């Protein structure tokens, strides 16, 4: 509490000084004027990116300087890769995996099964449920083995639980394969690659206690039955003022207590959840900075073995999916439109400096 008060006091002094950097932190030796997260951090720090973005030299320069982990924003999803029963579109995924390798980045696979990225031909597949499952098994083997040794981890299933009730979402997977389908998909992924890390990924696990309990129950059940699962992806689409830091900490700790690796897998911090702002105010940018600090600080409280990575869902504010999703102006990421690091970036740096 005292630490937080001191930090908030610092924030307002910081605001009054109108400085972009923190007076507490040694200046970076790089002539950019800001530290690389990838150098400071004891765990990988990443961003979700698109194949075309990393071909842009301005984008690549900043992305590769700051980060050492990469997730495909959408080009490793089923509806992009699996264009028809016997055809695959690998080019964008291959390019991203290659980029990650060329720049010594960890590449996280996202996602083998997600109801929102199921190809239409599969959704409408006419054939038996057994054939449907055989197709999925084949897709998992083909995709996981293509990137074996290059992709360190996969989200095997994304967003399988309903908000509020914590019941299983009525997806084509649930409806055709029955309620135990998740266990079989994790088994198939493990059979495809004995070493790749297997994650379950979902949102609102911090704010929705019922949903969180349902996912924890699934983990407990998997572990009791010997179904492989290595980690949990907490998407962390949060706001500058909610959910509470306690809920965020308790959620990370609950999954870590099961021995899982924790991936803050799609972090973004809404600065304008009320939709009232037309530009990012200095105060709101500082509040976003404080929230970034708090989240990274909480992540650092986990045992090192449980810290998989923190991944931001995009690099620059104008690229954020949230703008289209909520239909409001939004500035939820670490860099502005000109590739300049925002106060939130320095909140991340400060949390890391505090840990070293």
Residue nearest to ligand XIL (CB): 321
Q: Give the whole-angstrom CA distance, residue 107 versus residue 98.
A: 9
Bridge partner list, 239: 270
Nearer to ligand XIL, 141 or 321 (CB): 321
55 closest CA partner among 15, 85, 92: 92
In whole angstroms, the minimum distance from the beta carbon of 319 to ligand XIL comes to 9
317 is a site residue for ligand XIL (CB under 6 A): no
218 closest CA partner among 203, 206, 207, 228: 228
321 is a site residue for ligand XIL (CB under 6 A): yes
In whole angstroms, the minimum distance from the beta carbon of 313 to ligand XIL comes to 6
In whole angstroms, the minimum distance from the beta carbon of 265 to ligand XIL comes to 8
330 catalytic residue (yes or no): no
Nearer to ligand XIL, 139 or 293 (CB): 139
Which single residue is written with the structure tokens 């495909």?
72
In whole angstroms, the minimum distance from the beta carbon of 140 to ligand XIL comes to 18
In whole angstroms, the minimum distance from the beta carbon of 118 to ligand XIL comes to 13
For ligand XIL, the binding residues in 248-267 under the rule CB under 6 A are 266
Applying CB under 6 A, among 158, 171, 204, 306 the residue interacting with ligand XIL is 158
In whole angstroms, the minimum distance from the beta carbon of 324 to ligand XIL comes to 8
Applying CB under 6 A, among 69, 73, 78, 231 the residue interacting with ligand XIL is 73
Q: Which listed residue (73, 133, 206, 266) is catalytic?
A: 266
Q: Give the whole-angstrom CA distance, residue 237 versus residue 313.
A: 9
Nearer to ligand XIL, 73 or 230 (CB): 73
- Integer-rounded Cα Rg, in Å, for the chain is 20
Q: Give the whole-angstrom CA distance, residue 102 versus residue 90.
A: 18
In whole angstroms, the minimum distance from the beta carbon of 202 to ligand XIL comes to 8
**Which structure tokens are listed for 344?**
């939130």
Nearer to ligand XIL, 74 or 90 (CB): 74
- Please measure the distance between the N-terminal and C-terminal CA atoms of the chain and give it in whole angstroms: 21
For ligand XIL, the binding residues in 204-243 under the rule CB under 6 A are 235
268 is a site residue for ligand XIL (CB under 6 A): no
Q: Give the whole-angstrom CA distance, residue 151 versus residue 111.
A: 12
Nearer to ligand XIL, 158 or 171 (CB): 158
Cα separations (Å) of 178 from 165, 174, 224, 229?
18, 5, 20, 19
Cα separations (Å) of 274 from 93, 96, 118, 241, 313?
36, 35, 32, 11, 20
266 catalytic residue (yes or no): yes
Nearer to ligand XIL, 53 or 292 (CB): 53
Q: Give the whole-angstrom CA distance, residue 91 versus residue 336.
A: 29
Q: Which listed residue (73, 133, 159, 206) is catalytic?
A: 159
Q: How big is the site for ligand XIL, counted in residues (CB under 6 A)?
A: 6
**Which structure tokens are listed for 204?**
């609102």
Q: Which residues contact residue 61 at a Cβ distance below 8 angstroms, ignoring those fewer than 6 apart?
A: 339
Nearer to ligand XIL, 70 or 349 (CB): 70
Q: Helix axis angle, 245-256 relative to 209-225, nearest 10°?
A: 10
74 is a site residue for ligand XIL (CB under 6 A): yes
Determine the 3-state secondary structure of 300 from DSSP. Answer: helix
141 is a site residue for ligand XIL (CB under 6 A): no
Q: Where are the strands (E) in the chain, listed by range?
A: 45-49, 69-72, 82-84, 87-88, 106-114, 153-158, 197-202, 231-234, 237-239, 261-270, 307-312
Catalytic residues: 159, 266
Binding region for ligand XIL (CB under 6 A)? 73-74, 158, 235, 266, 321
């Amino acid at each position: 509490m005292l630490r937080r008060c001191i930090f908030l006091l610092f924030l307002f002094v910081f605001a009054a000084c109108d400085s972009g950097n923190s007076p507490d932190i040694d200046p970076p030796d790089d002539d950019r004027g800001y530290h690389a997260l990838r150098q400071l951090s004891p765990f990988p720090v990443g961003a979700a990116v698109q194949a075309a973005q990393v071909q842009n030299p301005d984008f690549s320069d900043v992305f590769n300087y700051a980060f050492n982990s990469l997730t495909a924003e959408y080009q490793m999803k089923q509806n992009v890769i699996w264009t028809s029963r016997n055809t695959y579109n690998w080019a964008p995924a291959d390019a991203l995996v290659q980029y990650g390798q060329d720049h010594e980045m960890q590449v996280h696979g996202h996602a083998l099964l997600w109801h929102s990225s199921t190809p239409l031909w599969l959704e409408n597949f006419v054939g038996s449920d057994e054939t449907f499952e055989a197709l999925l098994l084949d897709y998992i083997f083909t995709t996981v083995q293509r990137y074996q040794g290059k992709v360190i981890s996969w989200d095997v299933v994304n967003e399988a639980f309903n908000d509020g009730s914590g019941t299983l979402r009525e997806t084509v997977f649930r409806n055709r394969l029955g309620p135990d389908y998740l266990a079989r998909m994790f088994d198939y992924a493990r059979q495809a690659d004995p070493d790749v890390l297997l994650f379950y990924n979902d949102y609102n696990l911090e704010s929705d206690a019922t949903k969180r309990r349902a996912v924890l129950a699934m983990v407990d059940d998997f572990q009791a039955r010997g179904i492989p699962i290595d980690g949990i992806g907490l998407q962390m689409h949060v706001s500058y003022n909610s959910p509470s830091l306690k809920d965020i900490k308790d959620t990370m700790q609950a999954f870590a207590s099961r021995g899982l690796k924790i991936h803050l897998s799609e972090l973004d911090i809404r600065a304008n959840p009320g939709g009232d702002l037309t530009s990012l105010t200095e105060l709101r940018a500082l509040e976003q900075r404080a929230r970034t600090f708090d989240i990274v600080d909480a992540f650092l409280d986990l045992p090192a073995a449980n810290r998989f990575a923190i991944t931001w869902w995009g690099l620059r504010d104008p690229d954020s999916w949230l703008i289209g999703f909520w239909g409001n102006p939004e500035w939820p990421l670490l860099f502005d439109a000109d590739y300049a690091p925002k106060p939130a970036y320095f909140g991340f740096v400060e949390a890391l400096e505090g840990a070293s």
